[in-house]
Amino acid sequence: MRLVFLGAPGVGKGTQAELVASKFHQPRISTGDILREAVRNKTALGLEAKACMDQGKLVSDAVVVGIVKEKLAEPVCAAGFLLDGFPRTVPQAEELSKMLDSKGQRLDRVINVLVSREDIVRRLSGRRSCAKCQAVFHVDFARPQREGVCDRCGGELIQRSDDRRETVEARLVVYENQTAPLIDYYRRKGLLSELDGSGSVEVVHKRMVELLAAQGLS
């Protein structure tokens, strides 16, 4: 299967993409993970990406498209893939279409995960990440055993700059202005399905599997 997961920051599309990837043995390509790795390694790309993410802005199309193109060229993606965090703009979607056309491939489905704005802000601003192993906790939903200490490695838990409330609000404005038009783009192409992202991870995953089955993708 070749799927794209859409949705505002914090709707849980990354978690669902990871579960689907595991269940159906498909590679998950997360541009967010790739960019955060570059930030940690302080590469030229990482420094450029950090400046954008700290302000709640999107990284340039040219940089992100280049990263995805390299990933899709890897043999592991020949039989299918799940894209999480790409495309984020209509120009990126058009570039993805060109990439697939050149290989004689097509997208099977684009899944738009929906969660209320209030819940998104609560989810993101409450996240705490381990400075060492990058494990993620939450002040309301997934508290560590010891306050401020990672259960996995004992590292310090911090609030990422892009999870601060003011940055979250800025990220949502950027999403609404630049990424939401993708919904209409893919709806016109007849590829869009919408998924209620509220509730527990397990409940949302059940909805996801049912949606894929209804599209003949299970």
Please identify every residue annotated as catalytic: 13, 88, 127, 160, 171
Identify residue 86 by its one-letter amino acid code: F
Q: Are 16 and 205 in contact (CB under 8 A)?
A: yes
- Give the separation between CA 214 and CA 216, rounded to whole angstroms: 5
DSSP string covering 83-139: EES---SHHHHHHHHHHHHHTT----EEEEEE--HHHHHHHHHTEEEETTT--EEET
CA dihedral 24→182→112→2, nearest 10 degrees, is -10
- Give the separation between CA 74 and CA 72, rounded to whole angstroms: 5
- Give the separation between CA 140 and CA 138, rounded to whole angstroms: 5
| Percent composition of the chain: helix, strand, coil (DSSP 3-state, to 5) | 50, 15, 35
Identify residue 84 by its one-letter amino acid code: D
